[in-house]
């Protein structure tokens, strides 16, 4: 017969202090003691006792009574329980929160249905062809690699220069990078046609292949950001300092972020038969656009969190991110103008034809002309807004939206398709994404939005709980 289980509180050096479970006088059937969190919370839902009973039942049957509190099995159970308590925060929200999640899930299901159709019929359901073998999937992959790399813009000030104003926004940037890398992997997955083909890179790695190094850089960057964000949030939830080894990992992630977009640029600029990409300035242009689009998206997410979630990411950090975005956007526009001057002044037909297709049209094909001119106009308008009113709160969301849309149209649409039209043989093949293609892309976008929503919901809930606990502790000291 099981006896009562007692797990005493460990010291901060041995384990995470606050989430270790202590005995309670609260009984759960047959004389077994339930385990409740030693850490008091300011707000408990009505269903919280039921959840605790579930944890207690698991402990009663999974943890032997003769196990000491410092044993490995006890540590594993404690870690499992803490993770469960943090994930549980994503399942508490307002009606609008659940409506938003349900809408995202509906789009994800629709995208999955389109993907199953593509898996059954092949890539013939897309607008891809022999001449245009990369389309909307790879364009989105390229764009979101830049969004993922932009997390370095918040990691660098906080971990390298100890700018405390970035303390509340850094973890948001890291979780944004995690979601962006996951989306990048999904875009590659759906572009392969047959999912089993991805095993070729793993089973038959070739160090001479840039795709191999792209896989290494993306996987490593995903792992780094996931570890840094999770451990930092967990330490904050336990009201402890993050482990010392987190800082070296964060410093390693800085050059790693540069590498993921540099390797992606080398995938294109290393193709000698594609003159549109055959330029040494492609990698710097990728980085400049990434450091503009990523902060623009992060600022919009932080402003949305402040409006709908009551979370202040820090005015100082947002203002500095706006300045970073302004400089990066100006540099990106300068790089585009430098490339345009080189192409137009030299007059080399192989280079000139691609620009004609994008901005004027070629052989009657005007598919991308309005989108590219919209991108250019949005870029100029965004730069004017940022230079004149970067610190003005009402105009900042508009400027960020213009930056994000402009760079998405440029790099997430025109850059990839423009490199294939005209082909190496001079053939002009129009490319138009099909409905299944757009549906799959929308599903992946919705999945990324779902990840960001869940991550940010947990972050906001944890920090509000920690702040409420600090207020309670201060009131007790005063009393």
User: pLDDT (tens digit, 9 = 90+) per residue, 416-475?
Assistant: 999 998 888 878 888 899 999 999 999 999 999 999 999 999 999 888 888 777 666 666
Domain count for the chain:
2
CA dist 136 and 282 (Å) reads: 19
Q: Is 350 among the domain residues? A: yes
The two tokens of residue 296 are 């623009």
Q: Are residues 409 and 331 in the same domain?
A: yes
Domain assignment present for 225: yes
**Do residues 10 and 130 share a domain?**
no
pLDDT lower than 70: segments of the chain: 1-85, 389-393, 470-479
Q: Is residue 227 part of a domain?
A: yes
**Residue 74 covered by a domain:** no
Q: What is the pLDDT of residue 237?
A: 80
Residues 127 and 213 in one domain: yes
**Is 202 inside any structural domain?**
yes
Neighbours of 447 (CB within 10 A): 20
> Given this model, what pLDDT does residue 219 score?
93
Is residue 460 a part of any domain in this protein? yes
- 276/389 same-domain check: yes
**Residue-wise pLDDT tens digits, 127-144:** 999 889 999 999 999 999
How high is the pLDDT of residue 474? 63
Q: Which two tokens stand for residue 276?
A: 């549109």
Within this chain, do residues 343 and 439 fall inside the same structural domain, yes or no? yes
Q: What pLDDT does 61 receive?
A: 39
Flag whether 82 is in a domain. no
Measure the CA–CA gap between 147 and 297, rounded to whole angstroms: 8
Q: Where residue 329 sits, what CATH number does that domain have?
A: 1.20.1630.10
* Residue pair 148/452 in contact by the 8 Å Cβ criterion: no
Compute the C-alpha angle 104/167/399, nearest 5°: 55
Domain that holds residue 8: 1-39
| Token digits of residue 250 | 């964060």
For residue 335, is it within any domain?
A: yes
Taking a C-beta distance cutoff of 8 angstroms, is the pair 191, 359 a contact? no
Confidence (pLDDT) at 412: 86
Residues 30 and 158 placed together within one structural domain of the fold: no
For residues 137 and 16, membership in a common domain is answered with no
H helix or E strand, kind and range, residue 115? helix 95-121
Strands 21-27 and 33-37: antiparallel
Identify the bridge partners of residue 33 per DSSP, sorted by sequence position: 27
DSSP element (H, E) containing 251: helix 246-269
Res 473: pLDDT: 65
Q: Are residues 194 and 304 in the same domain?
A: yes
């Amino acid at each position: 017969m099981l006896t009562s289980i007692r797990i005493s509180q460990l010291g901060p050096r041995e384990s995470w202090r606050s989430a270790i479970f202590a005995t309670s006088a609260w009984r759960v059937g047959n004389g077994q003691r339930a385990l409740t969190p030693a850490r008091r919370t300011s707000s408990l839902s009505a269903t919280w006792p039921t959840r605790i009973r579930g944890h207690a039942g698991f402990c009663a049957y999974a943890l032997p009574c003769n196990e000491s509190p410092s044993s490995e099995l006890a540590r594993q159970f404690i870690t499992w329980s803490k993770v469960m308590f943090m994930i549980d925060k994503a399942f508490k929200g307002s009606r609008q929160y659940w409506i938003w999640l349900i809408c995202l899930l509906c789009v994800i299901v629709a995208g999955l249905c389109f993907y199953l159709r593509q898996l059954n019929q092949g890539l013939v359901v897309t607008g891809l062809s022999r001449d245009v073998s990369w389309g909307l999937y790879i364009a989105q992959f390229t764009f979101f690699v830049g969004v993922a790399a932009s997390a370095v813009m918040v990691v660098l000030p906080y971990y390298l220069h100890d700018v405390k104003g970035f303390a509340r926004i850094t973890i948001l940037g890291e979780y944004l990078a995690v979601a962006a890398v996951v989306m990048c992997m999904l875009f590659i997955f759906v572009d392969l046609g047959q999912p089993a083909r991805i095993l070729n890179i793993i089973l038959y790695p070739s160090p001479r292949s840039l795709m191999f190094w792209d896989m290494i850089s993306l996987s490593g960057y995903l792992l780094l950001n996931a570890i840094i964000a999770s451990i930092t949030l967990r330490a904050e939830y336990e009201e402890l300092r993050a482990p010392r080894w987190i800082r070296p990992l964060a410093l390693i992630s800085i050059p790693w972020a540069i590498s993921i977009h540099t390797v992606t640029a080398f995938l294109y600029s290393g193709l000698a038969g594609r003159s549109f990409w055959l330029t040494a300035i492609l990698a710097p242009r990728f980085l400049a656009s990434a450091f503009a689009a990523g902060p623009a998206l992060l600022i919009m997410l932080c402003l949305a969190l402040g409006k709908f979630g009551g979370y202040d990411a820090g005015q100082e950090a947002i203002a500095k991110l706006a300045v970073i975005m302004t400089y990066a956007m100006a540099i990106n526009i300068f790089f585009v103008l430098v490339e345009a001057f080189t192409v137009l002044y030299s007059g080399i037909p192989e280079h000139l034809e691609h620009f004609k297709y994008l901005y004027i049209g070629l052989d009657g094909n005007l598919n991308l002309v309005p989108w590219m001119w919209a991108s250019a106009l949005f870029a100029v308008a965004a730069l004017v807004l940022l230079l004149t009113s970067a610190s003005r709160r009402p105009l900042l969301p508009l400027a960020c939206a213009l930056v994000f849309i402009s760079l998405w149209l440029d790099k997430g649409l025109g850059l990839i398709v423009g490199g294939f039209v005209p082909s190496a043989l001079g053939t002009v093949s129009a490319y138009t994404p099909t409905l299944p293609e757009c549906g799959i892309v929308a599903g992946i976008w919705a999945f990324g939005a779902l990840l960001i929503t869940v991550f940010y919901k947990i972050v906001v809930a944890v920090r509000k709980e920690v702040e409420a606990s600090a207020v309670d502790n201060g009131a007790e000291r005063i009393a």
